[in-house]
Amino acid sequence: MANLLGRIFVNMTSKCLNQVGTVIGQPLLSTQTSQVTSVRTRYVDWRMLRDVKRRRLVKEMGRERRSINVLRKNDILPAELQEVAHREVIALPRDSNYIRIRHRCGLTSRARSVQHRWRLSRIMWRQIADGNHMAGVIRAWW
């Protein structure tokens, strides 16, 4: 039983590592052995890596998705054409939709209360601003 669970775990781990490797463009798992080569990326964690993957898909397929959606939602066109457009939109990957992009902090990968101008969460923004490391930001005095 333990041997079977071990093989399942190794198989799942190798699949996950291969998917991460395709996103960052470097193979993490060699095909000859099950040795894992560690690769340090500039991303904070897996959430940030997932968001980068989504942003890349939106950049590649966003225009196509929007044009098909326009056809799908157009009431003037025949219903058959709208159905075809609907099937084409469903066939596209879900991550190619711009709604699935989440703004995250560049330092901590926190998703909530991100200041878009600096791409930092409110916590990290305050730490950096209090340390006087942010140009143009001055602590209020009154």
Q: What is the pLDDT of residues 54-106, one digit of tens each?
A: 999 999 998 999 999 999 999 999 999 999 999 999 999 999 999 999 999 98
How much is the pTM?
A: 0.62
Q: Is the pLDDT of residue 126 over 70?
A: yes
The answer to whether residue 141 sits within a structural domain is no
Instruction: With respect to residue 142, please indicate whether it lies within any of the assigned structural domains.
Output: no
Question: Does the pLDDT value for residue 125 go beyond 50?
Answer: yes
| Same-domain pairing of 35 and 50 | no
- Both 124 and 75 in one domain: the answer is no
Q: How many other C-beta atoms can be found within 10 angstroms of the C-beta atom of residue 120?
A: 23
Confidence of residue 9 (pLDDT cuts 50, 70, 90): very low
Q: What angle do CA 82, 83, 84 make, to 5 degrees?
A: 90
Residues 13 and 28 in one domain: yes
86 within some domain? yes
The pLDDT of residue 10: 46
Q: By C-alpha distance, which of 70, 61, 47, 63 is closest to 96?
A: 61
**CA 11 to CA 35: how far, in whole Å?**
12
Q: Output the pLDDT for position 8.
A: 46
Instruction: Say if residue 92 is in the same domain as residue 109.
Output: no
Q: What is the pLDDT of residue 131?
A: 84
Domain count for the chain: 3
Statement: residue 7 has pLDDT above 60: no
Domain range holding 112?
Answer: 103-136
Is the domain of 132 the same as that of 119?
yes
Task: For residue 123, give the CATH number of its domain.
Answer: 1.10.287.1480
Does residue 118 lie in a domain region? yes
Q: In this predicted model, which residue has the larger pLDDT, 113 or 20? A: 113
CA atoms within 13 A on the CB side of 35: 4
Q: How far apart are alpha carbons 127 and 109 in whole angstroms?
A: 15
User: SS3 of 120, please?
Assistant: strand
